[in-house]
Amino acid sequence: MYTHNLKDFDPEIAKYITLERQRQEDGLEMIPSENFVSPAVLQALGSILTNKYSEGYSGKRYYGGCENIDFVETLAIERAKQLFGAEHVNVQPLSGAPANIAVYSAIMEPGDTILGMDLGHGGHLTHGHPVTWMAKIFNFIRYKTTASGEIDYDNLRAMAKEHKPKVILVGYSAYSRDIDYAKVKTIADEIGAITMADIAHIAGLIAGGQMNNPVPLFDVVTTTTHKTLRGPRGGMIMCKKSLAKQIDKAVFPGFQGGPHEHNIAAKAVAFKEALAPEFKDYAAQIKKNAKILETEFKNRDYKICFGGTDNHLLLIDITPKGLTGKEAQHALDIAGITLNKNMIPDEPRSAMDPSGIRLGTPALTTRGMKENEMKIIASWIDKAIQNWQNETELQKIRAAVREFTKNFPLYPTLPTL
């Protein structure tokens, strides 16, 4: 029987976990797809539920001993239904990409056409980028945003009528505006297409009542459970009852084996947190913080893609400031501010050294930062970009950031290794 603990048995791994905790606590996390889970979510993730195999679904398992597992998974499903107004929920997908792939396999045949958002205009790799395996199986047609940064619904209708897709897919990873799901549903109904939304980035804002909710309207909706929803890394599929059986079969046994029940328990905890009244305040603050950053950067003559933000993120073309997104990301890493390089619409550069940076407010908001803090952070980002080749100035910002974050402790009650 094992009796050792991590620090004693594997000090190397313990060391880097400790260093990563220190990095998270001492820096400013602004990657829009990242957030900080609660200690309760961490407890569920590290629980003994990881020991149990439970292939199948509640009441229909291939293994014995699943009576407690069934309760946990059913509770996660019921909470998700309440949170989003869903008819049917599958909480077993391991992440967002597997959730999307499972849906494709459930509702499409090889060669079928999907109309989805172009990656360069804010979409996601799994929405049909040529580098993905799914692009070899299905025929993806990609729509773009207008020069002013809006989704052109008239153009979307024209493309739908021209290409006759089986599925119209909306959702994004770098687009900063809301979506008119009712318009998309009307277009899909005109041609008899299935409606699919990927709300991975904005699920928390939807759950908090801050953005339009496609779940009651659309045939199928996928999401991750981290990002703005502030849960563990994982995926989820919500759909109409008419698609429930084929969606469930596509997830298991079609695409995955045994579900990760410790992760599903953590999802259930996060859903309970999101059902609490204070989560609405949290979601509203995420948007307020993002709008302050938008104003601050506009006042400093930054080129903001899509004209601004309606959600949690900003995509900024950094090249007018004399550097690339890769160079800005590196400089800000030194300064203790973490964001990511990102392509802009009709990107003229490579994906590994693009023109833009993508930043957001969920993790900062989780730590309790509000409008005044956003103004300070925007000034540091601007200063770091102006001095991106000056190590001394970047280290000065780093020192200020380290001192600043002491006012917003991340896990004050979590024991160290």
Residues with a known catalytic role:
53, 55, 198, 224, 227, 233
Q: Which one, of 247, 200, 190, 238, lies nearest residue 218 by Cα? A: 238
Cβ atoms within 10 A of the Cβ of 182, count? 11
Tell me the Ramachandran region of residue 184: left when phi exceeds 0, alpha when psi lies from -120 to 50, beta otherwise: alpha
Which amino acid makes up residue 324? T
The contacts found for 101-105 with CB under 8 angstroms, 24 or more apart, are 101/126, 101/134, 101/255, 102/237, 102/247, 102/250, 102/251, 102/254, 102/255, 102/256, 103/196, 103/220, 103/222, 103/237, 103/247, 103/250, 104/134, 104/137, 104/138, 104/167, 105/250, 105/254, 105/255
Rounded-to-integer distance, Cα 127 and Cα 140, Å:
8
| 172, 184 Cβ separation under 8 angstroms | no
Which amino acid makes up residue 50? T
3-state helix vs strand vs coil in the chain, percent to 5? 50, 15, 40
Buried residues in 222-242 as b, exposed as e (16+ CB within 10 A): bbbbbbbbbbbbbbbbbbbee
